[in-house]
Every structure is written in structure tokens, then in C-alpha cells.
Structure 1
Amino acid sequence: MLNMTSLNTIKGMTGRRFLQTLLIAAFGISAIPSNTHAKDVSFSGERVELFMPYKEGGGTDTWGRFYAPYLSEALPGQPVVVVKNIPGGGSTKGANQFARRGKANGLNIFASSASTQFPYLLKDRRVKYDYNDWRVILASPTGGVVYVSPSTGINSVDDLIAKRDEIKFKYGSQGATSLDLVPILAMDLLGMDVQPTFGMKGRGAGRLAFERGEVNIDYQTSSAYIKKVTPLVEEGKAIPLFSFGVLNEEGKLERDPNFPDLPHFSEVYAKLYPDQDPSQGYQAWRSFFVAGFAAQKMIFVPKDTPDELVQAWRQAATEAISSPKFSEESVQVLGEYPQLTGVQAEKALEAALSLEERNLKWVRNWLTENYNTKF
């Protein structure tokens, strides 16, 4: 429980330190240091493969490519870290391949995102991987922003609420059981007429479809939004509507400090339904938001990787995020979100994979009724 002193401390914080404290409060992530230095480990002259289950250009790919040189520099022996893109199946293809072929030698690592976690949580039949077979190295919480094309005539949330019955929205999606479940369900709860086009190889592909005018609404996680979409906003080619927000110390949604001028989804929902208690659908949305964003992107090694190699990786990750250069440059790419390693990453993973049965059941029924999803 938080006492008044800790609450007052939280209220005086901003940015990354603020979010770090919220994670400690909301998920019980204590500020425990990473494992001690692994002895007699060197990756000198080696080549590390980062299995990336997405095409180039999306949020997770952007995140992984940003991290790669920092991890290379921090690892003992400074091996080269290369990104191996394996798109398909909303990330399940690459995850399945890593589960089959990933070697427990410290040279194969895997980049997971919520689009990998959701099919696992939903017991999707395509999933041949198990998070219990992996050990987490680092985790990155994140946020996301929904935006529309100026061609919709929508310039604000108020416009969205007023005109949502008049507009047919087109959205490029990886699949209904990917992380896209969060924005698609949010749009449904707002009563929007949305036609998803499934089969996108990643959120980067969805953004490119938006830029080509093939779809008129899109969403990107914070890293891709900051780097790829902000220029479109500045050019008047994209209109940001709302973020998904972050959890505060009481477990309630509040505005994302990376996008303080944008309302979060709960604000939009409350504006549309001011006199109604949150529906079961909203509760399910919130549950999957937590599952998808508490540890939205993670790096893993196979479970059988020797302890000294896991310790070397975790120490390298801790050193990487502690460097002044990383702190300065990550804000521009990843946003103001705390990066988690060691026990902190393990606790975030535990929170991301925890899901109430009633919310799982509701979402599975919703997916079946709306998108004929088979489990």
C-alpha cells in the first residue's frame, strides 16, 4: 500500500521517473537491481541474431533496431547484434520459429510484443510457443496513439463523437488477435463503423497503407508514432485523436505524459457515455490494455540458456539503459517510458500475462461474433 508520503512524492514527479513509480505502485515492481556480473563470459568475435517477428519499419522493429547497438556495446566482447526479420501470422510465425530453432547459447534472442502475447493469452491455435520456455532480459512499457486522415473531416474527439455514425472507417490490421485487438475494441466501444483489412505484416505496413490513402484511421505504439507519424502530423497529413493513456498509482488511466495534450481512451469513453457505468466490454478492453502495454515489448533467451549467459545479458541490458547517451536518445525514439531489466522485467512480464478469466471469455466471444475468430 502507498502511504501519503509516497503519494505526495509521486504527484511531484514528471516523465520517466513518474512512470517508473507508477509501475512500482500498480504492478508491485520493486527497484531491485539486476543480477550481478557474470564472470568469464565473452562474446568477442560472435554474431548475435535478434529474431524479429515483424517486417522492417514497425514499432517493434524500430524499438529492436534502436536497442541493438547499445546491447552490442554493453555485452562483454561487444559482439555484433543483427536483426533477423521473420514477418507473418501477426508475429506468430517468427515466435514459432524461435521456439523451434532458437539456440540456448546466448547468441539467439527474441523480440516479443503484445501482438505475440495476445495470441498466447487467447489460446490461438497458431501458437506453438510458450512464454514459460523463455527467460526475459528486458521489458519496455509503452503507449499508443490513434489518428485519422484529414479526409474524414474529423479534427478532434468531439468531431469523432459527433460524426462517428456518418463515416466508414478503414483500418489496416495485423489480425484481430494481435495487439490490434486494443484499438479495434476501443473503436467498437465508441460505436464507430470500422472495416479492418487483416493481413498486414506489422504496424509499419498499416502506417504505409494510411500514407497511401488506402485506410483512413490508424494506430501506432509510441516509438513508431514519435518517429514515423509525428512528421505526418506536422505536415497536416494525420490528425491525432487520443492516446491509450497510462495507469496511475491507483490503477486508473490518466494521460500519457508523452502526449499530454491528447485525451486518453477512458476520457473519450466517458465523454460518450457520461451517465453509464463502464460496461463489461470496457472492463475487458482495460484488461487487455494492461496485458498489452505493461511490458509491451520484451527480449528473451531460451529457458535452457546457461545462467552465466543470462546474467551477462541482463547486466548488459542494465548497463545499456543506464548510459547517459541511451537516456538522451531513447526519449526521442521510445518516449518517456522506464526500461525494465532483471527482477523488474520479470514482474512486468508476470503482470502482462495475468488475465482474469471473465475478461478472457468475453473477448473470445466478442472476437468470434464480430470476426468469426476460431480458437
Structure 2
Amino acid sequence: MRTLFAIGACLTLAGGAPAWAADDFYAGKTVRVYLSGSAGGGYDGYGRLLGRHIAKHLPGEPTVVGVNMSGAGGRKLANYLYNAAPKDGTAIAIIHNTTVYDAMYGEPSVKFDASRFYWLGSLDSFTPISFVWHTSGVRSLADAKDREVAVGATGAGSSSFQYPNLLNNVLGTKFKIVTGYKGSPEMYRAMEQEETHGMMGTPWAQMRSRYMRWLKEDKVNILVQFGRKKNPDLLAVPLIMNFARSEDERKLFNFIFAGLDFSRPFLAPPGVPAERVATLRAAFDAAAADPELLAEARKAKRNVNPLSGAEVQAMVNEIYATPPALVKQAQEVLFGKK
């Protein structure tokens, strides 16, 4: 089930109040929602969306503030949350879904074990796309095998870095990765100014809601959609799974793209008391179903397809159970290691 607790209906005290109402820990406190992207990006938007609505579903209705902490494709924030953030339930975060894989790939800057975080839930699953600017001279992945195409990226932990490497190493394309951008707004500007030719890993929902004019004006060409199944809006766009030439490549793609099922994940650091994790998860579920949050999301053209913390935790555990040989192969194709 996507909702773990029905507020006011389950886990009640003898007097009829919700069980967590007895915990007044949050009264007068400030809860910080850390955001692993720059202002204006997708993670920032979803993090602030939850932050504006979760307080009323926490006992004591604490103050909730958003704090941006971008860098290294989400690893900077994950390291902070794991090692330095308060472990009392006053610090939660939304991080890049690809951050789950970083420790498995042996990334040296990783100072966390993603399986030990407490996953609170995810607000959406999404379909990342690869697209190029109309002046690039590229209209398909086949074209990208014949000429160099510069694409912007944040850091090695992000899909903007990993996906072009995947295409280069598995399919033989010639994407040139330009790193150092803080987030998607900066990468969009770089493409419009023709510093780069395109982007990888942009959620289709973000393109549809904010940059549909580019498609209508033929300013961009969508080359491929990433994921384990096609988005209904993109039936004419090739799916990465269909480029698999063997069962081994299909298994590789399936592992790499499993994390897309929880694309806007929220989490708390290890060490938070179990009863407070349950409170945070219940508040997340209630906020994700809150009519006011849903109305704001529709107005901002943000999809909300929530998963519970238990569901996300199970998916993370499944990813961490992947055979080492397959993990090593994924690492090689995503990071360009031959």
C-alpha cells in the first residue's frame, strides 16, 4: 500500500487520538529538508513542495525550512546527512536517486552506506530523456555515433554524467561530457547559449511542464528515453531497453534503471529513533496524499506518484543484493572504465 497509516483512523490511543500525538518532540522545533540540487531544479522543487505541507502532519507542527546543498551529484548531501546531520528526526533530505548506487560503484568520495539510511518515501518515478539542441546536427543515437556531441553534467554521481558514458561504452556514441554545472537550470542555459549541445537524464515531466515550447518550435530533438518501460507520452521515442543486444545487456540495463522507480526519494540519517522514523514516514504518506499538496503540484505541473518508505527501502535492498559481477560491469559502462 502507498499509505502506511490513515491519519486519525489507525494506531490510536485509548482516548481516540493518533498514537504519535503523544510525542510532542517536534513542538517548537525546526525541521530542515536538505535539497541535493540547485534552486529551481527538480529536486529543489519537490523538496520544497513536501516541506510546505509535511509540518501539519507532524505532531507539534514544527517549522520546516529548505536548505540547498548541491554538489557531486548528490554525494555531498548524502555524506553530510550520514555523518554530520542531527540524528533526532529534525534533518531529512531529498537526494538524487542515483546516489543509491555510488557506494556500490566504489566512488572514493562516498562516506555513507545507502542501505542504512531510513527511506521515508518517494514523491515520483520518472522517465529521463536524452535530448540535443537543434543546431547540433544530431537527430538520433545513430547520428551520435558519427560526431562528437557535448553534453552538460553536474558530477559523477548524476545521471547527466552516467547516461552519456553508458551510451558511449555500450552503444558506441561520441558524447563529450562537460562537468561542473550546479544543476539543471545552469545546464539548460549552457545548451541554449550553445556552450553544449544537449543534456542527459532530464525528467520528461520537467521538459513537458517547463520547456514544451522547445519541442513545439523544433528547438530540441529527443534521442532516447531511459527506464524499464516506455512512458505513455513517448511511444514514438526509442526506449533504452530496446537497444539491448543480449540477455546480459538487458540485465545490465534493468539493474542500472531500477532506481528510476523512486526518482524523488526522501530519507533520514541512520541513528534516528525507530518511533521517530515511523512518525516521519506517516507524515510523509499523509503529506503525499494531502489535497493541498496535490493541488499545488498540479498547478506547478509536477507529477506526484508516491511510494511509501517501506516500498523504497525494499527497492534499495533489492538493488544492494545485485551480484558483484553485474555491479562491476555497470560501474565500467557508467563511469567510462574499460
Q: Do these two structures clear the TM 0.5 threshold for a shared fold by scoring above it?
A: yes
Partner of 1:278 in structure 2?
A: 246
Mapping of residues 186-205 of structure 1, within 5 Å:
186-205=167-186
- Asked whether the equivalents of residues 34 and 77 of structure 2 are also in contact (C-alpha less than 8 Å), the reply is yes
* Secondary structure in structure 2 of the residue aligned to 1:114: coil
* SS at 1:83 equivalent: strand
Aligned-pair distance for 1:173?
Answer: 1.5
Distance in 1 (CA, whole Å) between partners of 2:327 and 2:207 is: 28
Structure 2 distance, partners of 1:121, 1:224, is 28
Deviation, 1:363, is 2.8
Q: Distance in 2 between matches of 1:40 and 1:145?
A: 46
User: Is 1:149 matched up with 2:124?
Assistant: no
Unaligned runs of 5+ in 2: 12-18
Of residues 304, 311, 316, the one that matches 2:278 is 311
Report the CA distance between 1:187 and its aligned residue: 4.8
CA distance 1:231–1:355, change in 2 (3 Å): farther
Closer, same or farther: CA 222–73 of 1 in aligned 2, 3 Å: farther
Counterparts of 2:205 and 2:93, CA distance in 1: 18
Matched letter for residue 187 of structure 2:
G
- Measure the CA separation in 2 of the matches of 1:297 and 1:193: 30
Structure 1 residue 338, shift from structure 2 partner:
2.6
Which is further off, 187-196 or 310-319?
A: 187-196
Q: 1:222 to 1:44 in 2, by over 3 A?
A: farther
Describe the superposition over 1:248-274 as per-residue Cα deviations: whole angstroms up to 9, x where unpaired: xxxxx331135344332234x26xxxx
Structure 1 residues 61 and 351, CA, compared in 2 at 3 Å: closer, same or farther? Answer: farther
| 1:230 has 2:212 as partner | yes
Q: Alpha carbons of 1:351 and 1:200: their partners in 2 closer, same or farther (altered >3 Å)?
A: farther
Partner of residue 4, structure 2: 33
Is 1:131 the counterpart of 2:114? The answer is yes
Secondary structure at 1:121's aligned position in 2? coil
CA 1:364 to 1:153, structure 2 compared with 1: closer, same or farther past 3 Å? closer
Whole-Å Cα distance in 2 between the matches of residues 364 and 59 of structure 1?
25
| Residue 213 (structure 2) pairs with residue 210 (structure 1) | no
Measure, in 1, the Cα distance between the counterparts of 2:274 and 2:56. 21
Q: Which runs of 5+ in 1 are unaligned?
A: 1-29, 246-252, 271-276
Determine if contact 2:99/2:157 at 8 Å carries over to the other structure: no
Structure 2 vs 1, CA of residues 76 and 197 (structure 1 numbering), >3 Å: closer, same or farther?
Answer: same
Return the letter of the residue paired with 2:134: P
Partner AA of 2:255 in structure 1: S
Change (3 A) 1:297 1:230: same
2:176 maps to a residue whose letter is Q
Contact 2:93 2:266 in 1 (8 A): yes
TM alignment of 1:160-309, pairs within 5 A: 160-161=141-142, 163-179=143-159, 180-219=161-200, 220-245=202-227, 253-267=228-242, 269=243, 277-278=245-246, 280-281=248-249, 283-290=251-258, 292-309=259-276
Partner of 1:13: none
Q: How far apart are the structure 1 equivalents of 2:145 and 2:311?
A: 44
Alpha-carbon spacing, 1:48–1:227, altered in 2? closer, same or farther (3 Å): farther
| Secondary structure of residue in 1 paired with 2:4 | coil
Identity %: 20
Counterpart CA distance in 1 for 2:236 and 2:211 is 16
Q: Is the 8 A contact 1:41 1:312 kept in 2?
A: no
Cα deviation code 1:150-199 (max 9, x no counterpart): 102344x4xx42x3344320011223443332343135433321110123
Output the TM-score relative to the length of structure 2.
0.83
1:80-159 mapped onto 2 (5 Å cutoff): 80-139=63-122, 140-155=124-139, 157=140
State the secondary structure of the residue aligned to 1:124. coil
Q: Indicate the RMSD between aligned Cα atoms, in angstroms.
A: 2.8
Structure 2 counterpart of 1:359, one-letter code: L
Aligned to 1:199, the other structure's residue is in SS state coil
- 1:17 is aligned to none
The alpha-carbon distance between structure 1 residues 208 and 286, as it changes in their structure 2 partners (threshold 3 A), is farther
Number of matched pairs:
322
Give SS of 1:38's match: helix
Amino acid at match of 1:178: S
Cα 1:371–1:227 shift into 2, 3 Å: farther
- Matched-pair contact (CA < 8 Å) for 1:142–1:221: yes
Q: Does the 8 Å contact 1:32/1:343 carry over to 2?
A: no
Give, in whole Å, the separation in 1 of the partners of 2:146 and 2:270: 51
Distance in 1, matches of 2:224 and 2:333, equals 23
